[in-house]
């Protein structure tokens, strides 16, 4: 199981409580706001905003929250001005980690990110040090229960998807970023609900993490990064065997 889908599964289990849900909403609102600021408030003419709205809907964000975030981005409502910064580094076991942030204080953010990497035994690297190990893709997660794999594959590919991967409890559908929204809309029209949908950085190859201590340190690093208010998304190229994951639970 890829680092993206493995970490996504862990996050969904953690995200059941209200505190985690609130943080997810905050990150999504930031993305909608900056997308609207950069490309305008019409999702029809702003692919990034369209993708951000799809991601928000997949997390059951209320329409009023989405509308307010768009208005903050277009200047119709007051809101903070954020700067986007991508950090790259190596976590425990040499795992490549990408950290997408939106911040109004980059000195605070970089200090926090560097601290988390150092605390885990990893290190924050220079720009470009690990980014080449990932491809930007649309990623759509669909619950396996009640879904026929062949029918899903046919529907997704016809809508423009690149591939459908079978995971433990979900199917992961990968698309080019430009085809992402069309594939999501095609699935929804067919009555298939997306449990997670967004533009993500998918690792080209994964690194096996086989030692329990390394795995615990890595997941702690990713959790600390995800929990930081300035961090939007975290991507990593690890793989942890299911039997080891059970020991970590």
In sequence order, what are the beta bridge partners of 174? 139, 163
| Radius of gyration in angstroms for the set of CA atoms belonging to the chain, rounded to a whole number | 18
Kindly state the tokens that stand for 94: 């040499």
Torsion sign, CA atoms 118, 120, 122, 124 = negative
Residues whose CB falls within 8 Å of the CB of residue 143, separated by 6 or more in sequence, listed in order: 169, 170, 193, 195
Average pLDDT over residues 144-168: 91
The burial class, CB within 10 Å (0-12 / 13-18 / 19+), for 144 is middle
DSSP-assigned states of every residue in 34-48: HHHHHH-S-GGG-HH
Closest residue by Cα to residue 3 from 134, 121, 156: 134
Element (H, E) at 240: strand 238-240
CATH class, domain 134-203, is alpha beta
Torsion sign, CA atoms 158, 162, 165, 170 = negative
Q: CA 11 from chain center: how many Å?
A: 10
Q: Are 125 and 88 in contact (CB under 8 A)?
A: yes
Residue 121, helix vs strand vs coil = coil
Domain ranges of the chain: 3-74, 83-132+205-248, 134-203
Q: Are 70 and 84 in contact (CB under 8 A)?
A: no
CATH of domain 83-132+205-248: 3.30.70.980
Q: Are 172 and 141 in contact (CB under 8 A)?
A: yes
Residue 55, helix vs strand vs coil = helix
pLDDT at 194: 87
Lowest mean pLDDT across 54-58, 158-162, 213-217, 243-247: 243-247
**In the CATH hierarchy, which fold is given to the domain comprising 3-74?**
Arc Repressor Mutant, subunit A (1.10.10)
What percent of the chain shows pLDDT beyond 70? 91
Q: Write the pLDDT tens digit of every residue in 31-82.
A: 999 999 999 999 989 999 999 999 999 888 999 999 999 999 999 988 788 8
pTM here is 0.86
Q: Is the pLDDT score of 111 beyond 70?
A: yes
């Amino acid at each position: 199981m890829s680092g993206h889908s493995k970490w996504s599964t862990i996050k969904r289990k953690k995200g059941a409580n209200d505190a985690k849900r609130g943080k997810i909403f905050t990150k999504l609102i930031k993305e909608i706001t900056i997308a609207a600021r950069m490309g305008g408030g019409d999702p029809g003419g702003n692919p990034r905003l369209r993708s951000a709205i799809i991601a928000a809907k997949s997390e059951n964000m209320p329409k009023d929250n989405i509308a307010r975030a768009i208005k903050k981005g277009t200047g119709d409502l007051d809101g903070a001005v954020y700067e986007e910064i991508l950090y790259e580094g190596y976590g425990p076991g040499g795992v490549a980690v990408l950290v997408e942030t939106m911040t109004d204080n980059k000195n605070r953010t970089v200090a926090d990110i560097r601290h988390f990497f150092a605390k885990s035994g990893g290190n924050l690297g220079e720009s470009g040090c690990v980014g080449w190990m990932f491809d930007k893709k649309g990623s759509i997660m669909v619950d396996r229960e009640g879904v026929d794999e062949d029918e899903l594959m046919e529907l997704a590919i016809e809508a423009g998807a690149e591939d459908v991967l079978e995971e433990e409890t979900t199917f992961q559908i990968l698309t080019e970023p430009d085809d992402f929204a069309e594939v999501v809309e095609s699935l929804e029209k067919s009555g298939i609900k997306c449990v997670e949908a967004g533009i993500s950085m998918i690792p080209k190859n994964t690194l096996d993490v086989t030692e329990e201590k390394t795995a615990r340190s890595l997941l702690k690093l990713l959790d600390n990064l995800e929990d930081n208010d300035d961090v939007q998304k975290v991507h990593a190229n690890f793989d942890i065997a299911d039997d080891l994951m059970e020991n970590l639970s």
